[in-house]
Each structure stands twice: as C-alpha cells, then as structure tokens.
Amino acid sequence: MSNPIQPVRGMNDILPEQIVLWQHLEQVARGVLEAYGYEELRVPIIEHTELFKRSIGEYTDIVEKEMYTFQDLGGDSLTLRPEATAGIVRAAISNGLLRGQRHKLWCSGPMFRHERPQKGRYRQFYQIDVEAIGYAGPDVDAELIALSARLWRELKLDGVRLTINSLGTPASRLSYRERLIAYFRAQEQALDEDSRRRLLGNPLRILDSKNPEMRELIEAAPLLTDFLDEESRLHFDALRSALDSLGIPYTLNPRLVRGLDYYSRTVFEWVTDELGAQDAVCSGGRYDGLVVQLGGEATPAIGFALGVERVVALLQQAGNAPAARRPDVYLVVSGERAEREALRLAERLRDALPGRGVWLNLGGGNFKTQFRRADRSGARIALILGDEELERGVAGVKTLRGVGGQIDCPLALLPERIAALL
Ligand code: HAM
C-alpha cells in the first residue's frame, strides 16, 4: 500500500454528521434573506488578481501575504477568491446590473486565505455573503444589521454581540491619515517591521496589527471618530438611533477599522466570547467607493459576510443541532426472487410515498445483520420481503420504534399501511 495522501493544511472535509448543522444554517439563512428581498447569485471562485488588489487594497494582510495567486496556462495572474464582495461588485458591473438599478444580493461558498490555521481560522472557509448595492443608507445599514440579528434569533444563538464604528468618507480619512502618520512617525523605533512598511502606504492598517507588542502604542493613537466629516456623523447618528429604536444593543468600538480597504462610513462586527481568539462570526460595512474603483458608476453599497464554520461551531456548542434525517422504511430482503423483486418494490414505494425515506438493504446479509442495519438506520418501520412472503403476495411490516409486533400486509396495500403507521 502506498502512503495515503494528506489533506491540504487548513482545508477541512465537512463530514455528513456536521453537514446537518451546515444545512440548518443555510436553510435558516436562505429563508431570512429571501424574506428581506435578497436574491442569490453565484460568482466564480477564481478572479483576476488585479480585482483583489484594487478592492481589498495592496497594503492589507490579505493581499500582501494571504492570497492563493497563480499563473494559468495562458500566463494570466489569477487568484482564488479570499472574499466575495469584490467578485460580486465585479459581476454587477460586468453584467450591467447597476445601470440605474439597485440590487440586494447574496452568495455563499468557499473563500481562500493563506492564514496560519487554528481553531476557527482556516485556509479554505465558507462565507454567506450579503450585499445591498445601490443603497445609500442609513436605513439599509440598520436593516442589514436587523437581518443579521434575526438570523441569530432564528438560530437560537444568544451569545453574539454587535460592535459598530464609522470610518467616515475617504476625505475625512485622509486628514486622519496624516495625523496618524505624524503620531506613528514620532514613535518609529517602537514600530514592528510590518507597521513600518505600512506607515506610508496605509497607516490605518497599523491599527489592525495583531502584534501584542504594538497594542499599547495603538491604544494611545488618535481616534478616527474625532475626524469624522459632518455627513458621516449624521449618517452614523441616524444608524445608531435606528438601532436603538429597533432594540438592537451595540457597543461603539472606535478601533474597529476592518482588514479590507474598501470600507467607508458604517462598519460592524458580530463577535462572541465562545470561540476563543477567532471571535468575529459576521462582519461587514459600507463601501461607497468600491464600484467606481472597479470601473463602474458611482454607486453606494453595504454588505456583510458570515463565517459559516464559526457559526456552525456556535450551533454545535449550543447543542442547537436538528436531528439527522432518518429513513422511514427499511426493506429487509431474503431469497433470490425476493432480492430481484425488492428493487422494484422499493421504487414503487418511493413513487407512492413522495418525500419519505425508503432504504433498501443492499449487499445481502442474514436477517440478524439486516435487522441490525435497519435499527442503526433509525428507520421507524422495517418491511420484510422473503421468497415465502412474495409467494403469498405480502410483506411483513414491523414497527422498530415503540411497541408492536409484525403483521403481514398485501403488497398493493403497503403504501396505505405505511402512511398510517408514520
Ligand atoms: P471579513 O471580516 O474578512 O470580511 O470576513 C467575514 C467573516 O468571515 C469573518 O467575520 C469570519 O467570520 C469569517 N472568516 C474570515 N476569515 C476566516 C478564516 N480564515 N477562517 C474562517 N472564517 C473566516 C469580508 O470578507 C468582507 N467581504 C465582508 C463584507 C461583505 N463586507 C461588505 N460586504
């Protein structure tokens, strides 16, 4: 035997027992999103590298060191998407969706970032990504947050908390940027290598540093909130009073700058204490400048993405797993003729009982083995078809849960009898 091939580090297999939780989340999310008028779209997993450089920003962790970038056989530089917003905005522009129109869109699927894997942080991870493109807010900002709050309620997750901030307009950020450069330059010897490089390129990213040695310096840095322009302040005030009137509690976090460059004004994160270091389960914000940056007409927009693995972990910890799907009927078979007939009988039952789970015993086995399999499957009813039953035109019907013996039932009446028992 040759050595088994290992999975790629940071990339997970999602096995059937976990899929139940994934499907539950997807189903609840789809229901909530549709109720708020969001439409699903699907965009490619691979885009031109340039798309992410122009949107996420050259001086971000993602673009500087986390992208899966490669040259394809035609010599183009392509990248596995590290997030979905850039691709969705690109798709809206490419397909002419934005000509005088606005769209509420959502998309789900895998994203790729070459981060250091740990609990809750993977190199392939899934997001449910929600975007409202063409909406200036602040009403949509509040509604998006209400939508996410509803998701937590429907998923029965009460341990997630909302933090919000406003990043202002690019103009107000520019004056803040100058102030920040002056502040960090005065302390240049205390900066780590990453921060020194970012000082001129993108000093706001220094605030994002995860290096504990930088914490004190960052905490004493000037606050963006003090540089907000009047319009952004009004926008933010309106969002806050909408959240108050909706009864959605939040904390203001003036240090929340987010790891992607396209944001302006509203940014927010839903965080939890229950997952350790990777505490953000859902995050997003407004990106009014991105459509223009990617070659479209000026279009305001806002969105968020939910980290599926992290929300699934919360569901698991909370014990909010729905029961796994069990078959309704398990068909036990014995004898050559019966085996041939059983495939057809199972198909007839599936026709007659749409939506019901009918599992046929496959691969033979004596009665004891087959009944063990039937029991393990969780089926409510076992049907027994042997050559002898076939001869008489009946099947044995046995309830596997609760009391009740075995009775014979004419084959033609089986659907009725089964329906009555379920
Ligand atoms: P993000 O904050 O980079 O934003 O990611 C959104 C969420 O994805 C995070 O809150 C987290 O739950 C999850 N996540 C991120 N990285 C990982 C990872 N390595 N492993 C597991 N989960 C992860 C965005 O991606 C923006 N596109 C969100 C957005 C949409 N903003 C506007 N529209």
Q: What is the pLDDT of residues 190-239, one digit of tens each?
A: 888 888 888 877 888 888 787 888 888 898 999 888 889 999 999 999 99
Pick from 232, 219, 249, 210: nearest CA to 115:
210
Q: How far apart (Å, rounded) are the C-alpha atoms in residues 309 and 86?
A: 21
**pLDDT tens track for 349-360:** 999 999 999 999
- What is the C-alpha separation between 304 and 84, in angstroms, rounded? 10
**Cα distance between residue 29 and residue 23, in whole Å:** 10
Write down the pTM of the prediction.
0.91
Model confidence band, residue 258 (pLDDT cutoffs 50, 70, 90): confident
312 C-alpha vs ligand 1 centroid, how far in Å? 15
Span between the terminal Cα atoms of the chain, in Å: 47
Question: Ligand 1 centroid to 302 CA: how many Å?
Answer: 14
Please give the distance, rounded to the nearest whole angstrom, from the Cα atom of residue 260 to the centre of ligand 1. Answer: 10
Ligand 1: which residue has its CA nearest to atom 7? 307
Report the atom number in ligand 1 closest to the C-alpha of 282: 10
Name the residue with the closest Cα to ligand 1, atom 6.
305
Pair of tokens at residue 157: 């997750």
Q: Which pLDDT value is given to residue 298?
A: 93
CB-hemisphere CA count at 13 Å for 14? 15
Judge if the beta carbon of residue 283 lies within 6 A of ligand 1. Answer: yes
Task: Spell out a b/e string for 361-399, using b for 16 or more CB atoms within 10 Å of the CB, else e.
Answer: beeeeeeeebbebbeebbbbbbbbbbeebbeeebbbbbb
Q: Distance (Å, rounded) from C-alpha 16 to C-alpha 274?
A: 24
The answer to whether the CB of 107 is under 6 A from ligand 1 is: no
For the chain, the C-alpha Rg in angstroms (whole number) is 28
For the CA of 270, the closest atom of ligand 1 is 10
Percent of the chain with pLDDT strictly greater than 90:
77
- The pLDDT value recorded for residue 211 is 85
Q: Which residue has the higher pLDDT, 361 or 175?
A: 361
Rounded to whole angstroms, how far apart are CA atoms 283 and 271? Answer: 9
Pocket residue to mutate for ligand 1, from 265, 283, 310, most atoms within 8 A of Cβ: 283
Q: How many helices (H) and strands (E) does the chain have?
A: 15, 16
Residue type, 356: R
**Length of the chain, please?**
422
**Cβ of 192 below 6 Å from ligand 1:** no
The CA distance from 239 to 286, in Å, is 12
- Within 10 angstroms of residue 45's Cβ, the number of other Cβ atoms is 14
Identity of the residue numbered 137: G
Q: Are 386 and 400 in contact (CB under 8 A)?
A: no
The Cα–Cα gap between 138 and 239 comes to 6
Q: Residue 292: pLDDT band by 50, 70, 90 thresholds?
A: very high
Distance 334 CA to ligand 1 centre (A): 54
Rounded Cα distance, 25 and 17, in Å: 14
How far away, in angstroms, is 280 Cα from ligand 1 center? 8
What does the alpha-carbon distance between residue 253 and residue 236 come to, in Å, rounded to a whole number? 13
Kindly give the distance from the C-alpha atom of residue 148 to the centroid of ligand 1, in angstroms, as a whole number: 14
Domains of the chain: 16-169+229-318 (3.30.930.10), 329-421 (3.40.50.800)
Checking if the pLDDT of 276 tops 90, the result is no
> What whole-number distance in Å separates Cα of residue 397 and Cα of residue 406?
5
- 176 C-alpha to ligand 1 centroid (Å): 25
204 lines ligand 1 (CB under 6 A): no
Segment holding 220, helix H or strand E: none
Q: Is 328 helix (H, G, I), strand (E, B) or coil?
A: coil
Q: Whose CA is nearest to atom 18 of ligand 1?
A: 121
**CA distances from residue 193 to 19, 188, 198 in whole angstroms, order as listed:** 42, 10, 9
- The rounded Å distance from CA 306 to ligand 1 centre is 6
288 lines ligand 1 (CB under 6 A): no
> Treating both helix axes as pointing N-terminal to C-terminal, what angle do 139-154 and 230-246 enclose, rounded to 10 degrees?
30
Name the token pair of 254.
Answer: 């003036």
Ligand 1 contact via 208 beta carbon (within 6 Å): no
147's tokens: 């939508």
318, amino acid identity: A
Mean pLDDT of the chain: 93
Q: Once rounded to an integer, what is the mean pLDDT over residues 146-165?
A: 96
Atom of ligand 1 nearest to the CA of 311: 12
Pull the structure tokens for residue 125. 């991870």
Cis omega (within 30 of 0) for bond into 138: yes
Task: Give the per-residue pLDDT at 10.
Answer: 97
272 lines ligand 1 (CB under 6 A): no
